[in-house]
Structure 1
Amino acid sequence: MLLRIDPESSAALYDQIAGSVRREVAAGRLPAGERLPSARDVAEALDVNLHTVLKAYQQLRDEGLVEMRRGRGAVVSARADALAELRADAAALAARARSLGVSGETLAALVRAAAED
């Protein structure tokens, strides 16, 4: 698993880490049951504070994407399979939006609005 952050980005580091894990799950590279690297290992590899990684893992846990297991650390939950299935739908929707001349920002706003309904 390759986690990436952009120190120049205005997004918080923990949001970038959580987003990176989400992308790996959606792409199917992190299936349900897969153990995430320890927070300490991620912090070392990315040269960030341990608490930053823990906050990202907590965010993923709160979303139900990751389960925290005593003795095993962070494990990708069964919800990961659903996210991977939705990736194909999202790709088709994005392609349809492009063909209609709808920007990515506008499409994202439509999806957010639909999710709130």
Structure 2
Amino acid sequence: MLIRLDPQSDAAIFDQIAASIRADLAAARLRPGDRLPAARDVAGALGVNLHTVLRAYQELRDEGLVEMRRGRGATVTDAATPLAELHADVVALAAKARRLGLSPDTLASLVKETADGR
């Protein structure tokens, strides 16, 4: 698992960490039952505060994508499976949006509105 951070991004570091892990789940580089690296190890490797990584892990837990247990770390849940199933569709949608000249923010807004049932 390779966590990517963009120092130029306006997104909070914990959001970037969570997004990177979600991308690994969607691309099936992480699968249900896999353990995420210890938050302390990730923080050290990225040069960020431990609590930043823990917040990212908690966000993923709140989404149901990982289960966290004291002493056992964070483990990917079965709820991550649909992400991998949607990956090809998302890649195709993003490619079409680029061809049409839509910005990533516009595409994200459209997807969010649609997902919210608007």
Q: Assess same fold via TM > 0.5.
A: yes
How much identity, in percent, do the aligned residues show?
Answer: 64
4+ long deviations beyond 6 Å: none
What 5-or-longer segments of structure 1 have no aligned partner? none
Which residue of the partner structure matches residue 114 of structure 2? 114
Query: In 1, distance between residues paired with 2:92 and 2:59?
Result: 28
Which residue of the partner structure matches residue 27 of structure 1? 27
Local SS of the residue matching 1:5: coil
Structure 1 window deviating more from structure 2 (104-113 vs 53-62): it is 104-113
1:98, CA displacement in angstroms? Answer: 4.7
TM-score (normalizing by structure 1) = 0.89
Query: In 2, distance between residues paired with 1:72 and 1:24?
Result: 21
Which residue of the partner structure matches residue 14 of structure 1? 14
Which residue of the partner structure matches residue 85 of structure 1? 85
Local SS of the residue matching 1:4: coil
- Describe how 1:55-94 pairs up with structure 2 within 5 A: 55-94=55-94
- CA deviation profile, 1:41-95 (whole Å, cap 9, x unmatched): 0000000000000000001100111111233100111111111001112123334
Against the structure 1 CA distance between its residues 39 and 84, is the aligned structure 2 distance closer, same or farther, given a 3 Å change threshold? same
Supply the AA of the counterpart residue of 2:116: E
Query: In 2, distance between residues paired with 1:95 and 1:74?
Result: 32
Supply the AA of the counterpart residue of 1:67: E
TM-score (normalizing by structure 2) = 0.89
Local SS of the residue matching 2:3: coil
Local SS of the residue matching 2:5: coil
1:105, CA displacement in angstroms? Answer: 3.5
